[in-house]
Amino acid sequence: MNYYPYLLNKIKQVTDEISKKDFDNFINLIIKTPRIYIIGAGRSGLVSKAFGMRLVHLKKKVFIVGETITPSMRRGDTLVAVSGSGKTTWVVETAKASKCLGGKVAAITWDTKSELANLADIVVQIPSEAVPRKISGYTTRELMGIPLPPLGSLFEISTLIFFEACVLELMSRLGIEEEEMKKIHANL
């Protein structure tokens, strides 16, 4: 099977279903927030950190939860919490703490009924698990012609694309050109 067209089609299906309203609400929150905290576990964490890096290039104050140099959260700050299932313990517990500290929570998840989504001020659904896995086992699904990327890959890839679209929108709304962003890019 040629997986490139298959994967690209699946990613397009997912990203086409991301709500424009959710996108706009997320962008508006990012613009208004004085300081942004980012959290995600595993590969969702890597995608989150990539977004955090771009926000720094866009002159936002950004911190990665769990890093030793991350300062305390203040009232009015925002936590961007990324968890496909919305059940990742570390992410959910951090969202609870953020709410107690007077922060806002923006949840990026596929499950709008999850604990993380219920805690959030804004939820962006990345509907990557819309295809039910009625047949368990990746190899079995592949043999039957219905492969899905394993272990949340569709969520993570689609979330990265969502975040890149956010970066482009933020560049436009904030009036920041790529050349200006390059001046802030890491040089060590």
Neighbouring CB atoms inside 10 A of 97's CB total 14
| Bridge partners (DSSP) listed for residue 75 | none
Q: Is 169 left (phi over 0), alpha (psi -120 to 50) or beta?
A: alpha
26-31-32-34 Cα dihedral, nearest 10 degrees: 110
Provide the β-strand partners of residue 108: 82, 124
Catalytic residue of the set 156, 169, 177, 180: 156
The beta-carbon contacts of 94-97 under 8 Å, at least 24 apart in sequence, are 94/39, 94/65, 95/39, 95/119, 95/120, 97/73
177 is catalytic: no
- What order do you get walking across the sheet with 61-64 strand by strand? 61-64, 35-40, 78-82, 104-109, 122-125
- Active site (catalytic) residues: 156
